[in-house]
Chains A and B, each alone.
Chain A
Amino acid sequence: MLAEHGDSAKLVAGGQSLVPMMAMRLVRPAWLVDINEVDALKFVKLEKDAARIGACTRQVTVERDDALAARVPLLRQALAWVGHVQTRNRGTIGGSLAHADPSAELPLAAQVLGAKVVLRSAKGARALDAEKFFSGPMSTSMRHDECLEEIHWPVWSWKHTGSAFTEIAIRHGDFAMVAAAAQVALDSAGRCTRAAFGLGGAGGTPLAFPRIAERLAGTKLEDEAIEAAVTDAARQTDPGSDLHATKEYRRHLARVLAARALREARANAKRQ
């Protein structure tokens, strides 16, 4: 169907983003291909290095999965900010990634953790890093004939691993003005072995800062080290201005929220 109709066909899963856009006539697909009843796209599989989640798995299923939360804690933390109960009961993990809203929580989590997406068409499958997948606001490098099949979320095996997600929105569950996510691993002496953090709503795609985060490795994640890192990161952001917040305010939020996420992640890692 997708290959035949190209641009004029859209896949619909939970429909929590696509259907509102259709209601507002922002998109008018001639064909809708409903994948809600495709059970093969609904699964959570825990493997040694990654959690594999089928694209059509409901957000609520992932949110309630304790074993998954123990391995990829950032997912449950991010989902707490995604929409409302009614939308999470219907919305899917893959749908949120494919929609690629630059202020959305799951795309940010995918970017920060370096998740991989598997895209399938009638011709075969290919895997892409999150970084390559998100190409701009509401756009991905997925081709018209491809379906997002599953997402691989890396599992960090360090004992003291902690993550955190935070954001500012007009109303809890609404689009984030700015969102921040972080994950850190500490050794038994409290020294950082690996850090990752990123920002949503601060550019055309969710942003991760792997080079800046690398500099945190080896530190004890003191507040000063965090402050230096997030100041650099905020400088690299390019948020827009709108009715709700100016560019300057968003950049300020980017710095403050990234620092908050890193400090919370540090505290959560110490508790492990």
Chain B
Amino acid sequence: MSETLHEISVEVNGKPREDHVPARLSLVDWLRDELRLTGTHVGCEHGVCGACSVMLDGEPVRSCLMYTVQASGHRVTTVEGLARPDGSMSALQDAFCETHGLQCGYCTPGMLIAAQGLLNANPDPTEEQIRDAIGGNLCRCTGYQQIVEAVRLAAERMKK
């Protein structure tokens, strides 16, 4: 028996995408396997690690806890959508490079989405607010100190 496919229409990084997907295909699997947007990482697959964070209508959510059909009619921004239109790194991405806010890079896309979500809502966050914003994202190598520094640095630059 072939699985029923559902028609969806999702705006991904500014581009409308149409597809037919099974009801229980997770959003992160669709982004990675169908759209080949492999910047978003699959970590724990049950909503604990934050590696799969994407923005849904501008707010960070976990894409492993959503089915693709639930994103239909909504806007999704992945880490690929954070770069400037000419493809160069955003202020936040630059800051991560400069402060060594990553080592293996597995958590980085999720960290970037969480941090960008914070900066969009609050351009001048305190250290506590930064820590709270990335509190749902696990990093197992760099440690959090340089990530917090990166967000702080990006906030300062974006103010100018």
Interface string of B125-160 (1 = CB under 8 A from A): 000000011011100000000000000000000000
A contact residues around B117 at 8 Å (CB): 85
- A interface with B by C-beta (< 8 Å): 15-16, 19-20, 23-24, 32, 34, 36-37, 60, 83-87, 89-90, 171-173
Query: Which residues in window 44-66 of B have CB below 8 A to A?
Result: 45-48, 50, 53, 56, 59-62, 64-66
CB within 8 Å for A32 and B23 given contacts A19-B65, A23-B46, A86-B114:
yes
Instruction: Pick from A90, A172, A173 the residue with the most CB of B within 10 Å.
Output: A90
- 6 A–B contacts, CB within 8 A, in A order: A16-B65, A19-B46, A23-B64, A34-B70, A83-B136, A84-B136
Nearest residue in A to B136 (C-beta to C-beta)?
Answer: A84
A contact residues around B62 at 8 Å (CB): 16, 86-87, 90
Closest chain-B Cβ to A263's Cβ sits at a distance in Å of 23
Query: Which residues in window 95-139 of B have CB below 8 A to A?
Result: 114, 117-118, 132-133, 135-137
Complex Cα–Cα for A46 and B114 (A): 32
B contact residues around A23 at 8 Å (CB): 45-47, 64
Interface of A is mostly: loop
Instruction: Pick from B47, B64, B118, B137 the residue with the most CB of A within 10 Å.
Output: B47
Nearest residue in A to B23 (C-beta to C-beta)?
Answer: A32
Nearest residue in A to B59 (C-beta to C-beta)?
Answer: A89
User: Which bracket fits the contact residues of B?
Assistant: 20 to 34
Closest chain-A Cβ to B79's Cβ sits at a distance in Å of 14
Does A24 lie within 8 Å of B46, measured CB to CB? Answer: yes
Contact of A90 among B65, B73, B135 (CB under 8 A): B65
B contact residues around A90 at 8 Å (CB): 56, 61-62, 65-66
Does A16 lie within 8 Å of B59, measured CB to CB? Answer: no
A contact residues around B136 at 8 Å (CB): 83-87, 173
A contact residues around B73 at 8 Å (CB): 37
Complex Cα–Cα for A32 and B25 (A): 13
Closest chain-B Cβ to A113's Cβ sits at a distance in Å of 25
Contact of B61 among A34, A86, A171, A173 (CB under 8 A): A86
Contact of A15 among B50, B65, B133 (CB under 8 A): B65
Closest 7 CB pairs of A and B: A84-B136, A20-B46, A23-B46, A89-B59, A19-B65, A86-B60, A90-B61
Complex Cα–Cα for A85 and B48 (A): 12
Closest chain-A Cβ to B136's Cβ sits at a distance in Å of 3
A contact residues around B64 at 8 Å (CB): 19, 23
A contact residues around B48 at 8 Å (CB): 20
Closest chain-A Cβ to B93's Cβ sits at a distance in Å of 19
Nearest residue in B to A172 (C-beta to C-beta)?
Answer: B135
